[in-house]
Amino acid sequence: MPLSIRSFPRAIIHIDGDSFFASCEAAVNPALKGKPVVTGKERGIASSMSYELKAMGVKRGMSLREIKKICPEVIILPSDYETYSLFSKRMYAIVRRYTEAVEEYSIDECFADLTGMRRSLRMSYEAIAEAIKHDLDTELGMTFSIGLAPNKVLAKVGSKWKKPSGLTIIPANRVETYLSKLPIDKIWGIGPQTSAFLKQHGIQTSLQYAQKPVEWIDANMSKPYREIWHELRGEFVYPLTTEEKHDYQSISKTKTFTPASADKEFVFSQLSKNIENACIKARRYELAPKKIFFFLKTQEFRYSGLELTLATPQSLPNEFIRLVRESFDKVYRPRTPYRATGVVLMGLEHNKEIQMDLFGAVSEIIKWKPVYAAVDAMDSKFGKHTVYLGSTMKAMKRGAHTNERGDAPGRTSKLFKGENRRQRIGIPMLGEVK
């Protein structure tokens, strides 16, 4: 019995940039086209690689040393997220020429809802998908893979079906063809834990999962996996999130440093820097966290951390740094080499909602406000960390010669030429925060 006989109740496309970071690099520098290119130099492991390298068996996460053995003429580039984000924005803009209903899912992927567009565009869904692909490929100078299906999960199956540069259409009445040989762990949202569980119950393929009786699904699976089951059967469950992001549940900043360090002040300054960065982001979205979680990560990848709560939600780093300083010794173990620190800001409220009842605390915040407004203005003019706190200084100095991407001349993208974005002045003007 067919899973679903309805034709297209909805037409959802998923668009996925092929080898996105490596392709952006080649689009900016055409001399790289057709060459084995990998990004991730700053980490020493591959984050994105061109199809020339994929053909040789190079995979994400592989060490660059290993890749050099496989392909001695490989071109290794550091990640340049500013350029990639720019291409990402261009991708969204092109898709929006066809429909406003676009979900910006990640830097190299988006969903769009084409339902009802056949009439206004006088094109079939297939023709619309082809036109979008044509515009993306020619205008961005790289290829994209597209899936067209009745929902997001199946559109994802489609975009992965043929890569690179594929366009795969999965109508509801042909779902079985695509799912019958597709391993269940290839489905978006089904990870190693769930596929191991399903395997124990004799389920290997996506079709076997989709064909399980609803009673079995309800009795054995939690909500996310019940929803996936419905989508695999051609139903529309997951709506697109098309509004611009203006809210976060949490904001986090973590940074690894090599080599690991047992120097207490250095480790603390790394935390201080992460706090500053997280607060910059919170202010950009006008969010005020009321809780902070900070942690240290040892060389052995063990974590120790602490969660702290503020009397008043706010987004200026001073108070967070003071709090973290106070309880730092509860987390830090002397003579232990740490490889990373991180902070997570939680309980985020929109600034307007902050009540003005705790007079002392609020007036303290108000006092600092103009200072940070100026800091944010300088950052947007000259680049991040034009100005930073004294407690962050150790981290800034060391950053220049550790694994920071750095701002070496010549690596600044041509796309930002003249904008002076990467310039760093580094005046510790706010002084030490105790």
Partner DNA sequence: TCTGGGGTCCTAGGACCC
Q: Please report, as ranges, the residues that interact with DNA according to CB under 7 A.
A: 43, 45, 47, 61-63, 105-109, 156, 187-195, 222-224, 247-256, 277, 281, 300-301, 307, 340, 342, 347
User: How many residues are there in the chain?
Assistant: 434
Which residue type, as a one-letter code, is found at position 17?
A: G
- Measured in degrees and rounded to the nearest 5, phi and psi for residue 231 equal -65, -40
C-beta closer to DNA: residue 47 or 336: 47
C-beta closer to DNA: residue 211 or 256: 256
Minimum distance, C-beta of residue 42 to DNA, in the bound complex (Å):
9
Q: Which of 52, 103, 109, 231 is catalytic?
A: 109
C-beta closer to DNA: residue 204 or 252: 252
Residue 169 and residue 133: Cα distance in Å, rounded? 13
Closest CA to 290 of 354, 205, 230: 354
The question of whether 307 is a catalytic residue gets the answer: no
- Measured in degrees and rounded to the nearest 5, phi and psi for residue 9 equal -70, -35
C-beta closer to DNA: residue 401 or 414: 401
C-beta closer to DNA: residue 128 or 385: 385
Residue 216 and residue 203: Cα distance in Å, rounded? 12
User: Could you tell me which residues come within 8 angstroms of residue 208 by beta carbon, excluding any fewer than 6 positions away?
Assistant: 184, 202
Minimum distance, C-beta of residue 329 to DNA, in the bound complex (Å):
20
Handedness of CA 106, 110, 113, 117 (dihedral sign): positive
Task: Tell me if 139 sits within 8 A of 90, measured CB to CB.
Answer: yes
Closest CA to 16 of 124, 119, 123, 112: 112
Residue 159 and residue 15: Cα distance in Å, rounded? 7
Task: Tell me if 19 sits within 8 A of 84, measured CB to CB.
Answer: no
Q: Which residues of 90-100 are buried (b: 16+ CB within 10 A; e: fewer)?
A: ebeebbeebbe
Task: Tell me if 217 sits within 8 A of 223, measured CB to CB.
Answer: no
Q: Which residues of 105-119 are buried (b: 16+ CB within 10 A; e: fewer)?
A: bebbbbbbbbbebee
Minimum distance, C-beta of residue 385 to DNA, in the bound complex (Å):
13
The alpha helices in 141-285, defined as continuous H runs, are: 152-161, 175-179, 192-200, 206-210, 214-220, 223-232, 264-284
C-beta closer to DNA: residue 160 or 233: 160
Task: Tell me if 314 sits within 8 A of 364, measured CB to CB.
Answer: no
C-beta closer to DNA: residue 81 or 116: 81
C-beta closer to DNA: residue 305 or 426: 305
CB < 8 Å & 24+ apart, contacts of 30-37: 30/141, 32/75, 35/73, 35/75, 36/71, 36/73, 36/74, 36/75, 37/74, 37/75, 37/77
Six-digit token string for 433 = 């925060």
State the catalytic residues.
109
